[in-house]
Amino acid sequence: MLVFWEQRLVFLATPKTGSTAIASALESLASVSIQRPPVLKHTTVHRFRRFFGPYLEAASKADWTVVAMMREPRDWLSSWYRFRSRPDQTDPAKSTAGMSFDDFVRGWCSTPRPAFADVGSQARFLKPRQGEGVSRLFRYEDIDSFVHFLEDRLGCEIILPRLNVSPSRATELSPETEALLHEVAADDFALYASLTP
């Protein structure tokens, strides 16, 4: 999470949407940068609006713009699957090495989710339980629009580094698993479809 005090702007770091690269490029410009632990770095919109937002608004006596990124849901799960296949994955229960993407997605679609697929949901991260959500939500696949928005708000050129890139792996799904994913992740797909391309 990054807080830009003068601009009254907050960036919420949705996992697996380039947040590490964005933080690396912008941390020096932020008034507050929370990068560790992951539970704070990846503060959900619900927790922000409940805890951080009211404090910022009270301290500044102003409204804040809250922005975040969202990735196409299947691609987002693909990134998690590839990320957890790295040789340096320290928890064997979370490793996807030697596992097909189809098995990973079926694990994500099950209840309860096994540890290797327990990665949450973008809809749960980005949608408030009640009240206000994010002010602007950008598609990860159109990151240039997000960068232009930030350049306008922060008044500087922004060049994002390539960091935390997941390894390449095959990510085919059977038609049955694809259908199951669209059923279980209906909220995610609907939220993504609502974003302006």
pLDDT tens digits for range 35-90: 999 999 999 999 999 999 999 999 999 999 999 999 999 999 999 999 999 988 88
pLDDT, average across residues 167-172? 88
Question: What is the structure's pLDDT at 94?
Answer: 95
- The model's confidence at residue 129, banded by pLDDT at 50, 70 and 90, is confident
pLDDT, average across residues 171-190? 98
The two tokens of residue 2 are 């990054």
Domains, the chain, ordered by start: 2-193 (3.40.50.300)
Bridge partner list, 66:
10
CB atoms near residue 106 (< 10 Å) = 19
Question: What is the structure's pLDDT at 166?
Answer: 74
CB atoms near residue 150 (< 10 Å) = 24
